[in-house]
Structure 1
Amino acid sequence: MALVIATLNYGGAQVQLCHLAKLLRRYKYEVMVCCVTRGGPLAEDLREAEVEVRVIGKRHKLDVTVLWKLIRIFKSYRPDIVHCQLFTANMWGRLAARISGIRGIIATVLSLEADRGISYVLVDRLLAHVTDRIVCNTWEIKGYLAEGEKMDPGKLTVVHNGVDTDWSGSWLAAHGILPLGSSKSALGLAPHRPVVGMVCRFDPRKGIEIFLDACELLLRQRDDVQFLLVGDADPAQPDQVACKAQVMKRLEQSPLSSSVVLPGLAADVRPLLHCMNVFVLTSHTEGLPNALMEAMAMERPIVATTVGGVPELVRHEIDGLLVPPGDPEAVANAVLRLLQQPDVAWVMARKARERMCEDFSLARMVSDTTKIYHEVLRM
């Protein structure tokens, strides 16, 4: 199997690919990962799991040498399946696989309508003719591709993301994670005050401004609440760099400055999720957000916006509370309710973890994916 992606920086698609590659390797599949643009911190994680990683080194948007480099790799490695993820890899990887005569060509599409420009749509429509399966990680995306972009429904299938369901209080204890009060203190948080947190890239689509607006509204109701904003910007992405600059400028000029802790990027978010009394997702657009799934697996009470595949994860009033996107008042009210009704919050949190264990495990994700591989090879 050859898995193709643009980079191995921290991100939802990259984390899912790493989970898939490592578990395929554990199940005795031969796996190679090709990074079209550059490697990243997750590359070493894969190499430690004995997964081969090749970096192509795309220099600019239309660097056609990428195509020939991928063709050479595919003709040398001779994978049965080439499975590409995200637009850059989907374009170059599928072209190279077709020219190389690869038996099975699979693309994964994670973007919603708002993220897909006309060039993306045209390229995907063209390459759909040489693709055996198009994997979507939400039913919403599958529906949009079938209805909005007129792709062949017979080629479309849904495989939801998977989450490591060992992410629980028992895991923390077994691995020597500090008790809750000590964990908060280590981050500069007051041990006995509630924490409302979010984990995300500093990306305009993540709605960080809505989160901060909601934080200000919450402080007017409860001055004991403190906030944890986990994540960072990719320095290679100008929109993320600008987003981070706006966040930092706002915090410097805001009464929130003494209430918001920014620990930066975390390779392992479990100890940080452990500190949160409520996990919040305020995105304007999403696929199937890993951070939300991780928080649910960690049994955190949830407030999330009704975007993308979020309603496929969170059942309102069962696993958490759903609110409209772009509405900080609704976010603040939902968080306040969970803080004021801890018994209700923890019942929802337990249901959220049960849902992740039953329907969104890594084992289920890998099983669904390998089933597609075998179906394609039998065609």
Structure 2
Amino acid sequence: MTRRVLHLLGSLGAGGEERQTLTLVKGLRGSRWEPIVCGMRGGALAEEFAEHARTIVLEKRHKIDLAVLARIRAIIDEFRPAVLHCHLSTANTWGRIAALVKPDKRPAVVVSEGGIETWKTAVHLAIDRLLLGVTDAVVGNAQAIARYLIDNDRIPARIVRVIPNGIDLARVQAKLHATEEERISRRKELGLTSDHFVVGHVGRSCAVKGLDTLAAVVEEMVRLNPDFRLVRAGQPPLPDEVEPAEAFRRDVEARGVADYVIWHPYTPDISSVLMILDALVQTSLSEGLPNAILEAMAMGVPVVATAAGGTSEIVRHRQTGWLTEIGDTRGLSEGLAHVRNDPGESRLWASRARAMVENDFSLSRMVENFCTLYDRVAGLRS
């Protein structure tokens, strides 16, 4: 018997959790769980979501928009999902309140926390605890998130689950075996040559991505190697990301290294970006289990990263990548220089990392883990 799961997201933009939810929705097609998607706002992934599931966009206009709350409840009543799966803070709050409106007719509720939310105030935490009564499971994609939820947010351990991200290897590895001629041609499109040492930074433009650290790394790498180039790739900034994005631009200009940064236009084809890189750098202050790192590993790209959140669970220093402390500009620069100067060792990291991702972070494993969780919470609710 096929049952329905309603995925509620704050937006359908191209952030990590949204992309991971899209991957999950694709994987659920044809399974025992039929996905329906509801975005409180639209975004870059809206059309792609609609290709794989019934998708509804609510166009939330205000921070507190009671009309949206009523619409979420109406969607629950119309489609009668056995499970409501809310993703990230905004959807987690609004979805659970909507479920609470008719507690005797609510679906089982699963909430996903995509990172360590250090920004939450005492008020946010109090609201989360009040809504625990309509929460059947809280999912983190890394052990670090689970520990934080239990120790800091005081979520009962009995409802906390860890389900690591899964990677759609067919999509990510589409250009894994690209020829050197194809790689050179793709670089030329961006004004790059085979002599450049090209490092990618993939992700949103929010402050938590450590963009000030990234600017300092660019300056140091240009000093060490004038052939260094940074390819900055990600979705167009959301409203609350415009200032951090502009601050990064101002920072690299002030440091005199703006000409060494290439702004890659948004593309859902991540493999076309990864195929041109010599390394991926991650400078985050906080993370869950980063998709960008898993995808780079799947493509055999060496990774240099900060030990933020679940990153240290996949990047093991000088085993599957280079790991430094958060904010360690020197350590990040040393790691990138090591990739440049010792390609033999960095290829060994990349080989181990690729095997790890293919074995432990497959799409099929993630989908089955979520289906099993949905089975369990829906069974308990019924």
TM-score, normalised to structure 1, is: 0.93
Contact preservation (8 Å) 1:304, 1:310: yes
Query: What do residues 28-65 of structure 1 show as CA deviations (whole Å, max 9, x unaligned)?
Result: 532211112x122212112222x111122322122122
Q: Give the whole-Å Cα distance in 2 for the aligned partners of 1:235 and 1:114.
A: 20
Q: How many angstroms does 1:333 deviate by?
A: 0.7
Q: How many angstroms does 1:142 deviate by?
A: 1.2
Query: What do residues 125-153 of structure 1 show as CA deviations (whole Å, max 9, x unaligned)?
Result: 11112111111111112112212222211
Query: Which residue of structure 2 aligns with residue 225 of structure 1?
Result: 228
Equivalent AA in structure 2 for residue 99 of structure 1 = V
Partner SS state of residue 114, structure 1: coil
Equivalent AA in structure 1 for residue 89 of structure 2 = F
Contact preservation (8 Å) 2:37, 2:54: yes
Instruction: Give unpaired runs (5+ residues) of structure 2.
Output: none
Q: Give the whole-Å Cα distance in 2 for the aligned partners of 1:231 and 1:263.
A: 8
Query: Which residue of structure 1 aligns with residue 85 of structure 2?
Result: 83
Query: Which residue of structure 2 aligns with residue 105 of structure 1?
Result: 109
Instruction: Give unpaired runs (5+ residues) of structure 1.
Output: none
Query: Which residue of structure 1 aligns with residue 350 of structure 2?
Result: 349
CA 1:328–1:371 in structure 2 vs 1: closer, same or farther (change >3 Å)? same
Does residue 7 (structure 1) correspond to residue 8 (structure 2)? The answer is no
Query: Which residue of structure 1 aligns with residue 249 of structure 2?
Result: 248
Query: What do residues 242-261 of structure 1 show as CA deviations (whole Å, max 9, x unaligned)?
Result: 12222222333443233221
> How many residues are paired up?
374
Equivalent AA in structure 2 for residue 284 of structure 1 = L
Q: How many angstroms does 1:233 deviate by?
A: 4.4
Partner SS state of residue 8, structure 2: strand
Q: How does 1:353-364 map to 2 (within 5 A)?
A: 353-364=354-365
Does residue 288 (structure 1) correspond to residue 292 (structure 2)? The answer is no
Q: How does 1:120-135 map to 2 (within 5 A)?
A: 120-135=124-139
Aligned-residue CA RMSD in angstroms? 2.0
Q: How many angstroms does 1:349 deviate by?
A: 0.4
Moved more, 194-203 or 315-324: 194-203
1:208 pairs with one of 211, 219, 227: 211
Equivalent AA in structure 1 for residue 22 of structure 2 = C
Contact preservation (8 Å) 1:16, 1:161: yes
1:180 pairs with one of 172, 179, 183: 183
Percent of matched pairs sharing the same residue: 32
Query: Which residue of structure 1 aligns with residue 22 of structure 2?
Result: 18
CA 1:173–1:63 in structure 2 vs 1: closer, same or farther (change >3 Å)? closer
Q: How many angstroms does 1:264 deviate by?
A: 3.1
Q: Give the whole-Å Cα distance in 2 for the aligned partners of 1:88 and 1:178.
A: 45
Query: Which residue of structure 1 aligns with residue 122 of structure 2?
Result: 118
Contact preservation (8 Å) 1:233, 1:244: no
1:157 pairs with one of 154, 157, 161: 161
Q: Give the whole-Å Cα distance in 2 for the aligned partners of 1:174 and 1:349.
A: 15
Q: How many angstroms does 1:184 deviate by?
A: 0.8
Partner SS state of residue 170, structure 2: coil
1:66 pairs with one of 45, 64, 68: 68
Moved more, 303-312 or 103-112: 103-112
Partner SS state of residue 133, structure 2: helix
Q: How many angstroms does 1:67 deviate by?
A: 2.0
Partner SS state of residue 118, structure 2: helix
Q: Give the whole-Å Cα distance in 2 for the aligned partners of 1:265 and 1:16.
A: 17
Contact preservation (8 Å) 1:167, 1:294: no
